[in-house]
Amino acid sequence: MKHRTFFWFFLPTGLAMLLFIAMPIVSVVTQSLFTPHEAVLVTVETCTPFSCAQETTIDQEATAALREQSPMGRFVGFDIYTDRGHLAFSEVAQAWHSSDSFGEFLKQLNNLPFYRAMGFTIVFVFVVTPLVIAMGLLIALAVNTVNARLKGIVIFFSLLPFVITPLIGALVLFWMIDSRGIIGTALQWMAGDPSLSLKASTGLMWISLMIYGVWHAAPFAFVIFYAGLQTLPMDQIEAAQIDGASRLQRLRYVIIPHLMPLVTFVALIQLMDNFRVFEPIVGFNASAHATSLSWAIFNDLGGETRQLSSAAATSVITILGVALLLSPVLVRTWRDYKGKV
Amino acid sequence: MSSRANKMPIALRIVASLFVVTWVLMAAFPFVWTFWGSFKVELDFFSIADWTNALTGPRTQETYGSTFTGAGYHGAWVEEEFMRNVINTFIVCFFVVCTSLTFGTLGGYALSRSGYQYTFWLLIAALIFRAMPPITLVAGYMLPFFEWNLWGILPTTIIVLVAINQPFTLWMLHSFFQNIPKELDESAKVDGCTQFQAFRHVIIPVMWPGVITTGLFSFLLAYNDFAVTSMLLSEGNRTMVPQIAAFLGTTYTEGNIMFAVAAVVSATAPLFVLVMVFQRQIVSGLTAGAVKG
């Protein structure tokens, strides 16, 4: 295809991505270097016949004019990145020096909003992703053994948690684990503690969020692994069996290696998707116990005071995190591509 | 499947079947439960006294004279005018799907037919864009949209969702078009067609399976989005999902939580139908991505 033709074909999609993905990234980066103007203060001396009093007021007009003149705010460089709401260098240094043990240090770190969000995001990513893969594989192996006529129905129900709107899925589960909901009541009965409430405990809330994560994503892994199982090399399995391999050994040495490329694929998609964990925190109303990077951005942007600069700084750090997470894949793709050319 | 390798001991077969049943219950039960409960009053659905109240609904009987009530639906659809949000959602979804498929087919086709190195870099850029959480971009939209008075209206949200959707659409359709033999459009070009004519007369007639599959995922993205729609739409223009989130803020205090439950069930229904009708396409779309992976 000629460059010219390619250009015209690619123009609409390229323009959309340039204007609404690439430009906003630039905009976010710049935004994160500026902070809103402080109000312009004026001091007026008002004298009565008896005394004079100085009064400091906000000069609304001048403030508005300044904001009008440069809507981005004033340039502060990397100050927003290092303030208490983000990387909090001075607080971290202080925590490092004042704490006796590493655990103590982590505890202090957990009081800083950014590290709290970062902590949950990372734990969520690295707990949920392997569990999703394991769960998906187990379901796929089990479904592969059931009656062929039932498979359609099983796949139909399995897809529901996956296609459901994340916020709605989270709400549906949340209403069930509510202390007055069915699972909440069941847990109270099992634990023999009528005051047990998932909403009150940070640990239980984290577990609930992760269970939601697995419930939501396992169908995705299942469908992909199930498709992979349909293309199993039968001759290899039979050969393994003739050589005396047990069922478990065949799973370990034939089936899993066969599915390995799919496992990598699912892991990659899950890393990206779990890193943006956000809706369950809103749905579970869990922000008192767990926050994520996406939630922190959302929280800054919402509400009456839209803290654009703070949100922008968190966004930039998040994008860098994603890039870091994705870098092994990019390097591999690049090598493959080099090899092909 | 008659080979000896697939004969399973009976115990293993039972364990596997039990596991499948458990999983299906895990996947489906929450929806069934919420659907059933949406016809009850709050004191039954969230029963302190006895969990079976949610099944039998004695309080609902007391209040409305029947164990089922449409009060939650009445509250959501009539009092809170949920209809408006439903219409907004379908406007957004319709235009997002149409636009992103138009853009995506053109772009994906071009990427699959051009052998130059820049196609690789464009695909890599798309992969990186796909990996970024959409909410990170929202801070960048806010200021320009406020400045130019674009904030809060549906067209802005539609074009933003289209753009966010493009990387995925491009990847899907790129791999789909690569499976359509190049000889097809090459021969049309030999016969004197321009590239666009070849695309129009030769490729378009055979591309629908791939386009429908991609369209389903575009629809899901637009329908399920919460981060972008809740930030970019004004109160009057909200789609369903941000409206449900807004219900939560007010209903927990006003005691109208059943409105939210009814709204949630209403918003789930279209997805249910979608999976029922397009199950095969969804499965094939998911696996197509993986096989290329």
Mean pLDDT of A282-296: 90
Q: Greater confidence, B146 or A129?
A: A129
Contacts of A131 (CB under 8 A, 6+ apart): A210, A213, A214
Token pair of A249, please? 């050994």
> In the predicted model, is pLDDT for residue A329 greater than 90?
no
The string of pLDDT tens digits covering residues A221-275 is 999 999 899 888 888 888 988 888 888 888 889 899 999 989 988 998 899 899 9
Picking from A163, A186, A167, the residue whose alpha carbon sits closest to that of residue A176 is A186
Under the banding of pLDDT at 50, 70 and 90, the label for residue A103 is: confident
Three-state secondary-structure class, residue B152? strand
> In the predicted model, is pLDDT for residue B120 greater than 60?
yes
Average pLDDT, chain B: 87
Token pair of B279, please? 């199950």
Cross-strand bridge partners of residue A46 = A53
Token pair of B153, please? 């209206």
The string of pLDDT tens digits covering residues B211-221 is 999 999 999 99
Q: How far apart are CA B156 and CA B172, in angstroms?
A: 25
Regarding whether A273 and A128 lie in a shared domain, the answer is: yes
> Mutate which of B29, B96, B128, B137 to disrupt the A interface (most A C-beta within 10 Å)?
B137
CATH number at residue A128: 1.10.3720.10
Q: How far apart are CA B82 and CA B75, in angstroms?
A: 9
Regarding whether A241 and A163 lie in a shared domain, the answer is: yes
Regarding whether A146 and A94 lie in a shared domain, the answer is: no
Token pair of A93, please? 């240094």
CB atoms under 10 Å from CB of A256, counted, come to 12
Q: How far apart are CA A73 and CA A95, in angstroms?
A: 32
Distance to chain B for A97, nearest Cα, Å: 33
In this prediction, residue A119 carries a pLDDT of 92
> In the predicted model, is pLDDT for residue A48 greater than 80?
no
> In the predicted model, is pLDDT for residue B1 greater than 50?
no
Cross-strand bridge partners of residue A55 = A44
Mean pLDDT of A307-318: 90
The string of pLDDT tens digits covering residues B164-184 is 999 999 999 998 998 888 888
Mean pLDDT of B274-293: 81
Count of the separate structural domains present in chain A? 2
Regarding whether A228 and A138 lie in a shared domain, the answer is: yes
CB atoms under 10 Å from CB of A81, counted, come to 19
Regarding whether A141 and A107 lie in a shared domain, the answer is: no
CB atoms under 10 Å from CB of A238, counted, come to 16
Contacts of B75 (CB under 8 A, 6+ apart): B256, B258, B259, B262
Contact A43, A54 (CB under 8 A): yes
> Mutate which of A2, A23, A131, A163 to disrupt the B interface (most B C-beta within 10 Å)?
A163
- Examine residue A259 and state whether it is found in any structural domain, yes or no: yes
Regarding whether A246 and A100 lie in a shared domain, the answer is: no
The CA distances from residue B6 to A145, A211, A232, A255, in Å, are 9, 32, 12, 13
A17 vs B129: CB contact, 8 Å cut-off?
Answer: yes
The string of pLDDT tens digits covering residues A29-38 is 988 898 877 7
Regarding whether A275 and A183 lie in a shared domain, the answer is: yes
In this prediction, residue A173 carries a pLDDT of 93
| B228 φ/ψ angles, rounded to the nearest 5 degrees | -75, -50
B224 CB burial (10 A radius; 0-12, 13-18, 19+)? buried
Flag the least confident range among A301-305, B40-44, B200-204: A301-305
Regarding whether A245 and A103 lie in a shared domain, the answer is: no
- Examine residue A1 and state whether it is found in any structural domain, yes or no: no
Regarding whether A127 and A270 lie in a shared domain, the answer is: yes
The string of pLDDT tens digits covering residues B28-73 is 999 999 999 889 888 888 877 777 777 888 888 888 878 888 888 9
Cβ–Cβ pairs < 8 A, chains A and B: 298
Regarding whether A84 and A159 lie in a shared domain, the answer is: no
Under the banding of pLDDT at 50, 70 and 90, the label for residue B2 is: very low
In A114-182, DSSP assigns E strands to none
- Examine residue A254 and state whether it is found in any structural domain, yes or no: yes
Which domain, by its residues, includes A192? Answer: 123-296
Most confident region among A41-50, A68-77, A118-127, A191-200 by mean pLDDT? A118-127
> In the predicted model, is pLDDT for residue A67 greater than 80?
no
- Examine residue A180 and state whether it is found in any structural domain, yes or no: yes
B110 vs A6: CB contact, 8 Å cut-off?
Answer: yes
Regarding whether A195 and A104 lie in a shared domain, the answer is: no
Q: Greater confidence, B236 or B273?
A: B273
Regarding whether A158 and A193 lie in a shared domain, the answer is: yes
Mean pLDDT of B195-207: 89
B141 → closest Cβ in A24, A234, A325: A24
